[in-house]
Amino acid sequence: MDSDDEFLDDGLDFDAIPTGTLLQLEQSAWQATQAPQHDERSQQPGLQTDRNQLNYESQYNAPQRRQSGFYGNVEVIDLDADLLGNDEPLEDVVKSNPPIAQNVLHGHAASQRQYTPVQTQNIQSVQDSHDREIGAKIEEFSRQYDAINEQLASAREDVTKKTGEVAILRANLTKQAQEFERTIASLRAQLTELTTKNKGVEQAAINDRQKLETENLFLREELRDEALRVNNLRAKKRAEAPQTPRKQRTLPFRDGFDDDEIGVGSPTKSSGGRSKRGTPSVSGKRKRKVSDAPIPMAPLQLSQGIGAMEAETLALDSMDTTTEERGHISEGFEEGFYMTQILNHRNYPNAESDLEVMAGLAFPSEPDRKISSIVLETMSGVTSNYPVKYAHCLIQLWDRALVEKFYKVVPSFMDSIKFILLLDLYSISPQLTTELAGILQASIYVNAATRFEHSAVSSKVKGESRRTPRTVLHADVDSTFALEIMYLLALACRQDDESHEHLWRNIHFDILLMTLNDHQPLQDIVLSLKILSTSLRQNSFGTIQPSEAEQRQVEYHFIERVTCLLFQRIEPDEGEEDYLPLQICQMRLEALTFLEMITFYSFEMTTDASKTAIISYPLVLPRLFRTLYDEMDRLYTLCPEHSIRTALINRLTHLIYRLIRSGGGKNLHEGLSRLSGAKQKHRLVLSRLAFSEGQYLESGITEETMEMARQLLEEEDMSPEEAEALFDAFPTGGRLSGREGTQVEQWHIRS
């Protein structure tokens, strides 16, 4: 009790005590229970700092709030709430109680420590969770950093690898460039050496020729001098022979007497005009008779000089020797000339030679070896027959290019082979028949087979036809160029029967028949027809087959294909324009030429097996009549190809007339019935030709054609009514109406 009394207020009025005094007492009491430990920051005076601290506490510590901590849910009372209530500024409190301002600040710090037991655990838990979050983020950032470092290391490793690869590629490229430069330098050196060598050979040949010409001139001069000397010797011998003396014909007095006939007498011994008597003659003495026989002469002895005939013989012998030497020299010069021409050949529009073009190309199977090096290695030891051996080398490379489908180099091979053939066509071509025929057919097949697959013959739907897309064709393998070379080869081999037979045994029937399809280029069809025209032989034509039956079958196929070209439409490739009518007419004239060669090649068509093929084929005449009707119908539309169409009509009529007269018209009506409307077209076209006026649109049709058509029309089995109708349709009778005795006129008279 006494202890309680000690703390009695003794009637003190605590409300009257100023707020600062109470605060000081409270702080003194609290300090008495605590050790005198102060923080440096709390000991630093500063009004602005304490104000900020107090404002911070007043902002984040409510006057009364419930907190959860070590002591459970307790209410915390903020003792500063009354001191600074009503928004009283701290500066006013400090000014009103300057003695205790320092204590207030310390008291505030102490009051903050007063709540420490309750708030520390909360702060610690928040700090732990915050640390964990920061640790997690740090770990995440560490992982990201490690991943980025790994990516960076991988990228640096890739960059190092790429740098190494680039360095290797650059080294290889530099090596290839150096090798290419060495190859080019080697080729140029070889070419320069060959050129120099060729120039030396050419200059030697020129010098030899000049020497021979000079020697020839000297020999001619010597021969002429020798002949002149022989003639002089003959004249001299003739002059030295004894001759009858002749009188002098000087006649100085010109009086008609010779000098020895004038005698002058002495004037002192004149006898008065009488002459002195001579020696008296003895009577009966014989007189010497004068003989008229010539004086005997010794035979003329010729000198032992060289005669004219012997001189001529020696000159001819020397000329023969010179000719033989010149032949050997000309052969060497020709070889050098061919080699120079071949090595310097250029393909238009290339400005480089063939070897220079080949120096930039290599086969896919051997990319490190240029084609030009292969050619030069192959031809390095060749000294004779250079063009043929060079062509053999190119043909082997050409075949390799087709096998590897490396078509880029094929045009260069084609142009070079054609150039070599044209150097000496009839001498070089027979030596290349087998190899060249095979490689040409392989080149033709590359695009011809693709076009054939798009034709109506190969279509799954009957009659469906499609143009060949350009994307499926190989432009580098020109089938037209290959057919041109084959045509040259066929023309050259035709001069020799053995070469001709050998060629047509090596040509395949299916490839040549494929090139006559209506989906092939028009120029290819024309060239194929020309090549086929060179195959005519005794009793056969076309490719040579092992048996007679197979030969006849092949001939039937060729005739069937050629007759179809007379009326079929020729389809160009996709994206190309249609062919002009003039071009179509020229192609049909070429097809007609082939049929005419078969028909008119021999007069005995019934005994020639190859001629019976065109007669026995049942659709030849119907197709010819159909073509004749179509051309006659187009003739009535004035067109630029009018003259070509009239020539086609005349030649078709002659061919039809020849075939019918040779026995080909026996089954004509049966064949006409197999074609739609062929019977009517047959009779109509014969009527148009038979009664043609030959003027205006029909100009160009010859009278011979009209006469043939009229004879064929007269042989038709027509009734009088049909003849009358025909005569009414053509009242003028045509150009041949003045001729009498025709069957049509007789029918008209009867009716």
Q: What is the DSSP string of 40-83?
A: HHHHS--HHHHHHHHHHHHHHS-SEEEEEETTEEEEEE-THHHH
| Residues spanned by the domain of 157 | 145-224
Each residue's pLDDT tens digit, 351-382: 788 888 898 899 999 999 999 999 989 988 88
CA distance linking residue 423 with residue 385, whole number of Å: 12
Does residue 204 lie within any of the structural domains?
Answer: yes
Q: 581-600 vs 609-616: helix axis angle to the nearest 10?
A: 130
User: Are 387 and 424 in contact, with CB atoms under 8 Å apart?
Assistant: yes
- Signed CA dihedral, 136, 139, 145, 149: sign only: negative
Q: What is the mean predicted confidence (pLDDT) over 2-27?
A: 61
| Predicted local confidence at residue 737, as pLDDT | 54
In this structure, how many other beta carbons lie within 10 angstroms of the beta carbon of residue 180? 13
User: Are 561 and 500 in contact, with CB atoms under 8 Å apart?
Assistant: no
**522 vs 640 pLDDT, higher one:** 522
As for how many domains the chain has, the answer is 3
List the one residue out of 47, 19, 228, 30 whose CA is nearest residue 112: 30
Does residue 348 lie within any of the structural domains?
Answer: no
Q: Would you place residue 326 in the very low, low, confident or very high pLDDT band (cuts 50, 70, 90)?
A: very low
Kindly report which listed range (42-51, 215-224, 733-742) carries the lowest average pLDDT score. Answer: 42-51
CA distance linking residue 49 with residue 51, whole number of Å: 5
CA distance linking residue 599 with residue 588, whole number of Å: 16
Does residue 309 lie within any of the structural domains?
Answer: no
CA distance linking residue 455 with residue 452, whole number of Å: 5
CA 287 to each of CA 82, 278, 282, 283, 291: distance values in angstroms, whole numbers, following the listed order:
221, 17, 11, 11, 13
Q: Would you place residue 205 in the very low, low, confident or very high pLDDT band (cuts 50, 70, 90)?
A: confident
Does residue 122 lie within any of the structural domains?
Answer: no
Which two three-digit tokens encode residue 169? Answer: 């590629």
Are 630 and 574 in the same domain?
Answer: no
| Predicted local confidence at residue 77, as pLDDT | 46
Coil, strand, or helix at residue 1?
coil
Q: Of 165, 189, 224, which residue sits at a domain end?
A: 224
User: Are 109 and 99 in contact, with CB atoms under 8 Å apart?
Assistant: no
Are 568 and 659 in the same domain?
Answer: no
CA distance linking residue 2 with residue 20, whole number of Å: 30
The burial class, CB within 10 Å (0-12 / 13-18 / 19+), for 390 is buried
CA distance linking residue 292 with residue 295, whole number of Å: 9
Are 481 and 623 in the same domain?
Answer: no
Which two three-digit tokens encode residue 443? Answer: 């080149």
List the one residue out of 498, 501, 524 whose CA is nearest residue 513: 524
Coil, strand, or helix at residue 635?
helix
Kindly report which listed range (78-82, 345-349, 386-390, 409-413) carries the lowest average pLDDT score. Answer: 78-82
DSSP-derived secondary structure for 325-349: HHHHHHHHHHHHHHHHHHHT-B-TT
| Predicted local confidence at residue 618, as pLDDT | 83
Are 430 and 574 in the same domain?
Answer: yes
| Predicted local confidence at residue 276, as pLDDT | 44
List the one residue out of 459, 358, 448, 456 whose CA is nearest residue 411: 358
pLDDT at 253 over 90: no
Q: What percent of the chain has pLDDT over 70?
A: 68
Are 447 and 536 in the same domain?
Answer: yes
Are 460 and 554 in the same domain?
Answer: yes
List the one residue out of 522, 515, 514, 554 whose CA is nearest residue 535: 554
Each residue's pLDDT tens digit, 83-123: 444 445 545 544 555 544 454 444 444 444 444 444 455 66
Residues 6+ apart with CB under 8 A from 251: 258
Each residue's pLDDT tens digit, 479-537: 999 999 999 999 999 988 899 999 999 999 999 999 999 999 999 999 999 999 999 88
**Backbone phi and psi for residue 636, each to the nearest 5 degrees, phi listed first:** -80, -5
**364 vs 636 pLDDT, higher one:** 364
CA distance linking residue 215 with residue 315, whole number of Å: 12
In this structure, how many other beta carbons lie within 10 angstroms of the beta carbon of residue 438? 15
Highest mean pLDDT among 223-237, 269-283, 299-313: 223-237
CA 68 to each of CA 9, 75, 128, 132: distance values in angstroms, whole numbers, following the listed order:
36, 9, 16, 21
| Predicted local confidence at residue 136, as pLDDT | 87
Does residue 42 lie within any of the structural domains?
Answer: no
Q: What is the mean predicted confidence (pLDDT) over 459-470?
A: 80
| Predicted local confidence at residue 532, as pLDDT | 94
User: Are 343 and 194 in contact, with CB atoms under 8 Å apart?
Assistant: yes
| Predicted local confidence at residue 155, as pLDDT | 92
- Greatest pairwise CA separation for the chain in angstroms: 257
| Predicted local confidence at residue 714, as pLDDT | 82
Coil, strand, or helix at residue 12?
coil
Coil, strand, or helix at residue 370?
strand
Are 668 and 547 in the same domain?
Answer: no
Extended beta strands in 434-570, E state: none
pLDDT at 211 over 70: yes
Q: Of 556, 583, 610, which residue sits at a domain end?
A: 583
Q: Would you place residue 283 in the very low, low, confident or very high pLDDT band (cuts 50, 70, 90)?
A: very low
Residues 6+ apart with CB under 8 A from 678: 622, 625, 626, 671, 672
Specify the pTM.
0.56
pLDDT at 300 over 50: no
Residues 6+ apart with CB under 8 A from 26: 107
Are 565 and 677 in the same domain?
Answer: no
In this structure, how many other beta carbons lie within 10 angstroms of the beta carbon of residue 430? 19
pLDDT at 397 over 50: yes
Are 554 and 646 in the same domain?
Answer: no
**Backbone phi and psi for residue 69, each to the nearest 5 degrees, phi listed first:** -160, -150
Residues 6+ apart with CB under 8 A from 279: none
Q: Would you place residue 430 in the very low, low, confident or very high pLDDT band (cuts 50, 70, 90)?
A: very high
Q: What is the mean predicted confidence (pLDDT) over 233-258?
A: 58
Highest mean pLDDT among 92-96, 238-242, 419-423: 419-423
CA distance linking residue 42 with residue 110, whole number of Å: 10
Coil, strand, or helix at residue 527?
helix
Each residue's pLDDT tens digit, 693-716: 777 778 888 889 988 988 888 887
**15 vs 691 pLDDT, higher one:** 691
Provide the residue type at 722 as one letter: E
Q: What is the mean predicted confidence (pLDDT) over 172-179?
A: 90
Q: Of 173, 198, 224, which residue sits at a domain end?
A: 224
Are 572 and 705 in the same domain?
Answer: no
CA distance linking residue 492 with residue 507, whole number of Å: 15
| Predicted local confidence at residue 12, as pLDDT | 55
| Predicted local confidence at residue 269, as pLDDT | 44
User: Are 451 and 517 in contact, with CB atoms under 8 Å apart?
Assistant: yes
The owner of tokens 């027809």 is: 529
Does residue 89 lie within any of the structural domains?
Answer: no
Secondary structure letter of residue 702 according to DSSP: -
List the one residue out of 520, 174, 537 whose CA is nearest residue 529: 520
Are 641 and 561 in the same domain?
Answer: no
| Predicted local confidence at residue 59, as pLDDT | 44
CA distance linking residue 151 with residue 343, whole number of Å: 60
Are 648 and 571 in the same domain?
Answer: no
DSSP lists the bridge partners of residue 537 as: 540
**22 vs 370 pLDDT, higher one:** 370
Kindly report which listed range (160-164, 185-189, 473-477, 715-719) carries the lowest average pLDDT score. Answer: 715-719
Residues 6+ apart with CB under 8 A from 118: 67, 69, 70, 71, 74, 76
Does residue 346 lie within any of the structural domains?
Answer: no
